């Protein structure tokens, strides 16, 4: 480094992005003539300072290969030779490129997630229990091991705060497009990397979505990871145009965009991709067939991935309707009003316009799906509740819904038998989470007063500001821990406010009022946890800024079932409007929902989550996703 001062005007500004070459889907596209031209893509990841590895703000790639007992040298993405040509050229034989690829895809996914939420993403805390004390440690970087296993598997490990990717020899099926016995790397598949990164992001968001308290919870984890991976395909401009041209604009026909992990699927012996949102390869018919939605399918399906696939299909279906309605006018324009395309290829201009619409619709859908996470209950999620979260979140931001997005979602979910419990109709209004009712025991307006007083005591507005101006993720993490502590203290000491919140959340918060089964501290305050504190400032379609705070409260209750005691986690997500100083929604999984508590216990007892004998011999898995992905 030179010590000579430089004129600031001569220093180039930091670039907004770093361009990195990579495989668009996975290496298999490069070996097929029809897709060869679109097998590569330039990933555009936010610029950040990197050390070799690459190691940045969010992830660190560590390339150790224990089954081979080898390390591979870390790539230096800042090396001029690398920078000058947008990263290393795609190559499956070069470990440094593998590192670049996982980095590029993971960062793209994180960036997508952050943009939807409008705030920083965090990894799940490391939780260490020492006696009765539980310690939470901040994890700055997710570790990525691109070559960790020798099997057709890849998983997110919370225990190690890491993604582990495997490599394996392709099956010996000569009919598959893979070289029999050739090595397939899961870390070179955009879909696999995006999927696993999303698992990690979701776990950092909702820590308890890995606890299978009903058949939907883990399925939701899988489905959500697939949804993110799938809709990221639509950010690949060339691939999108290529597939639109190939399907002549009808994305409900077999296409790469709706498929996940093509190479992985072929290499592990199936004729099609690992997963497909709209169809599947039929072994008996020997061809791809479209999947017909069946409202009874969900009830019949127990396996986690199969169940998740139903949710993915529903979301993709909503996308297809939206894309359809957004492009109907284009097709009419292009066909002289008939809307019926003539045989032959589409005009490249039409392809481009259709692709733009597809990309836009996909972007909206993905935003909706990610933002809905703020509106999910903190524990025991079901698909139906996710639908309610989707509708509510979208309604807050887009009160009008001129393009019928929400209707498309409701219809697509209904076609697949996904209904929430306890709603009267499937209308938008009944699906939307309800706000807290006026408390009959209080004078009119009193509740509102108590809530705004609560906001004032906690100093919520000022606190949120400190979060917004925090410089680093670590600072935000520390600050929100302090805020959570403060909220907890306020609830514990202000009995009147606690009583109001208690009625809204269905939890026991006020001192000396805990029902049996809830642990009470020595000072009479029930034991509960302010688990999450998040803020969001989002632009509504009418130009107003929505200034929100999301607080999640958790509590455990011990209940008896068939003569045995069981601990069940309850919780509530509170959505607050900070401008209005009011609580908009209280999404509850309360203590008094007895049927739910019983369902959770019975589900846990039925051992449906157990993979065959695994649970008999090994007990509950240490790595839930490892076993899930192995089956």
Contacting other proteins within 545-564 (CB under 8 A): 562
> Shortest gap between Cβ of 50 and other proteins (angstroms)?
13
Among 29, 77, 148, 200, binds other proteins (CB under 8 A): 148
Q: Is 618 in the site for other proteins (CB under 8 A)?
A: yes
Among 16, 93, 344, 445, binds other proteins (CB under 8 A): 93
Binding part of the chain for other proteins, among 11-19, 55-63, 287-295, 587-595 by CB under 8 A, reads 55-63
236 to 265, contacts with other proteins by CB under 8 A? 264
101 to 130, contacts with other proteins by CB under 8 A? 126
Strands (E), 226-313: 259-260, 275-276, 279-282, 287-290
Q: Please say which residue, 248 or 271, places its beta carbon nearer to other proteins.
A: 271
Among 32, 36, 135, 269, binds other proteins (CB under 8 A): 269
Q: Please say which residue, 449 or 607, places its beta carbon nearer to other proteins.
A: 607
The Cα–Cα gap between 577 and 430 comes to 21
Q: Please say which residue, 582 or 615, places its beta carbon nearer to other proteins.
A: 615
Q: What angle do CA 412, 415, 416 make, to 5 degrees?
A: 95
Among 34, 69, 400, 542, binds other proteins (CB under 8 A): 69
What residues have CB less than 8 Å from 387, skipping those under 6 apart? 409, 410, 413, 418, 419, 420, 431
Among 17, 32, 70, 496, binds other proteins (CB under 8 A): 70
Q: Please say which residue, 93 or 516, places its beta carbon nearer to other proteins.
A: 93
Q: Please say which residue, 12 or 181, places its beta carbon nearer to other proteins.
A: 181
Among 42, 210, 578, 626, binds other proteins (CB under 8 A): 626
Q: Is 612 in the site for other proteins (CB under 8 A)?
A: yes
DSSP letter for 631, please: -
Q: Please say which residue, 65 or 238, places its beta carbon nearer to other proteins.
A: 65
The Cα–Cα gap between 118 and 371 comes to 9
Q: Is 57 in the site for other proteins (CB under 8 A)?
A: no
DSSP sequence for 117-140: HTS---PPPEEEEETTEEEEE---
Question: 50, 56 in Cβ contact below 8 A?
Answer: yes
Question: 198, 625 in Cβ contact below 8 A?
Answer: no
Q: Is 605 in the site for other proteins (CB under 8 A)?
A: yes
Omega before 54 within 30 of 0, i.e. cis: yes
Q: Please say which residue, 482 or 605, places its beta carbon nearer to other proteins.
A: 605
279 to 298, contacts with other proteins by CB under 8 A? 283
Binding part of the chain for other proteins, among 89-97, 303-311, 329-337, 541-549 by CB under 8 A, reads 89-97
Q: Is 181 in the site for other proteins (CB under 8 A)?
A: yes
What residues have CB less than 8 Å from 53, skipping those under 6 apart? 60, 61, 62, 74, 75, 99
Burial class (CB in 10 A: 0-12, 13-18, 19+), 54: buried
Q: Please say which residue, 70 or 496, places its beta carbon nearer to other proteins.
A: 70
Residues contacting other proteins: total by CB under 8 A: 72
155 to 174, contacts with other proteins by CB under 8 A? 157, 159-162, 164, 166-173
Q: Please say which residue, 151 or 593, places its beta carbon nearer to other proteins.
A: 151
Binding part of the chain for other proteins, among 464-472, 551-559, 572-580, 620-628 by CB under 8 A, reads 620-628
Q: What angle do CA 172, 175, 176 make, to 5 degrees?
A: 70
Closest of 465, 467, 457 to residue 489, by C-alpha: 457
Q: Which two tokens stand for residue 215?
A: 């058949």
Beta bridge partners of 161: none
Q: Is 143 in the site for other proteins (CB under 8 A)?
A: yes
C-alpha distance across the termini of the chain, in Å = 53
Q: Is 615 in the site for other proteins (CB under 8 A)?
A: yes
Question: 527, 507 in Cβ contact below 8 A?
Answer: no
């Amino acid at each position: 480094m030179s010590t000579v001062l430089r004129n600031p005007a001569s220093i180039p500004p930091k670039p907004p992005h770093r361009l990195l070459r990579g495989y668009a889907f996975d290496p298999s596209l490069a070996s097929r003539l029809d897709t060869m031209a679109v097998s590569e893509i330039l990933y555009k990841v936010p610029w950040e300072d990197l050390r070799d590895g690459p190691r940045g703000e969010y992830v660190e790639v560590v390339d150790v290969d224990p089954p081979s007992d080898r390390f591979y040298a870390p790539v230096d993405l800042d090396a001029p030779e690398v920078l000058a040509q947008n990263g290393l050229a795609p190559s499956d034989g070069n470990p440094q490129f593998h590192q670049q690829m996982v980095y590029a895809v993971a960062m793209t996914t994180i960036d997508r997630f952050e943009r939807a939420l409008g705030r920083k993403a965090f990894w799940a805390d490391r939780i260490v229990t020492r006696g009765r004390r539980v310690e939470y440690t901040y994890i700055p970087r997710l570790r990525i091991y691109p070559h960790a296993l020798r099997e057709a598997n890849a998983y997110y490990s919370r225990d190690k705060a890491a993604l582990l990717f495997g490599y394996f020899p392709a099956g010996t099926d000569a009919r598959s497009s893979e070289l029999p016995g050739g090595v397939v790397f899961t870390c070179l598949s955009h879909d696999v990397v995006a999927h696993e990164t999303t698992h990690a992001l979701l776990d950092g968001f909702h820590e308890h979505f890995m606890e299978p308290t009903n058949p939907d919870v883990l399925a939701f984890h899988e489905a959500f990871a697939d949804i993110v991976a799938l809709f990221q395909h639509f950010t690949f401009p060339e691939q999108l145009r290529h597939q639109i041209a190939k399907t002549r604009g009808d994305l409900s026909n077999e296409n790469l965009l709706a498929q996940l992990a093509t190479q992985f699927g072929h290499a592990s012996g199936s004729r099609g991709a690992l997963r497909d949102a709209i169809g599947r390869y039929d072994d008996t018919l020997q061809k791809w067939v479209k999947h017909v939605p069946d409202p009874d399918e969900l009830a019949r399906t127990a396996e986690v991935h199969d169940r998740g696939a139903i949710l993915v299909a529903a979301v993709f279906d909503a996308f297809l309707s939206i894309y359809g309605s957004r492009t109907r006018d284009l097709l009419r324009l292009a066909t002289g009003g008939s809307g019926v395309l003539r045989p032959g290829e589409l005009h490249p201009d039409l392809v481009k316009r259709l692709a733009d619409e597809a990309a836009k619709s996909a972007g909206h859908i993905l935003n909706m799906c990610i933002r809905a996470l703020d509106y999910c209950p903190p524990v025991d999620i079901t698909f139906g509740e996710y639908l309610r979260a989707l509708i509510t979140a979208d309604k807050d931001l887009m009160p009008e819904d001129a393009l019928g997005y929400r209707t498309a979602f409701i219809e697509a979910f209904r076609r697949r038998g996904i209904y929430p419990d306890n709603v009267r109709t499937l209308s938008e209004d009944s699906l939307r989470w309800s706000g807290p009712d006026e408390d009959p025991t209080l004078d009119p307006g009193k509740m509102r007063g108590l809530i705004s007083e609560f906001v004032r005591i906690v100093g919520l507005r000022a606190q949120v500001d400190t979060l917004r101006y925090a410089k680093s993720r670590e600072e935000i993490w520390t600050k929100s821990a302090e805020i959570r502590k403060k909220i907890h203290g306020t609830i514990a000491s202000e009995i009147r406010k606690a009583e109001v919140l208690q009625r809204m959340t269905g939890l026991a918060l006020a001192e000396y009022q805990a029902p049996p089964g809830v642990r009470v501290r020595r000072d009479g305050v029930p034991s509960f946890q302010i688990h999450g504190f998040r803020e969001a400032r989002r632009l509504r379609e009418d130009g107003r800024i929505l200034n929100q705070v999301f607080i999640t409260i958790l509590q455990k209750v011990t209940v008896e079932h068939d003569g045995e005691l069981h601990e069940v986690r309850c919780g509530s997500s509170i959505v607050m409007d900070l401008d209005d100083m009011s609580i908009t929604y209280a999404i509850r999984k309360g203590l008094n929902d007895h049927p739910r508590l019983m369902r959770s216990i019975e589900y846990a007892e039925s051992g449906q989550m157990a993979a065959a004998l695994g649970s008999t011999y090994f007990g509950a898995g240490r790595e839930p996703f490892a076993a899930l992905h192995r089956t």
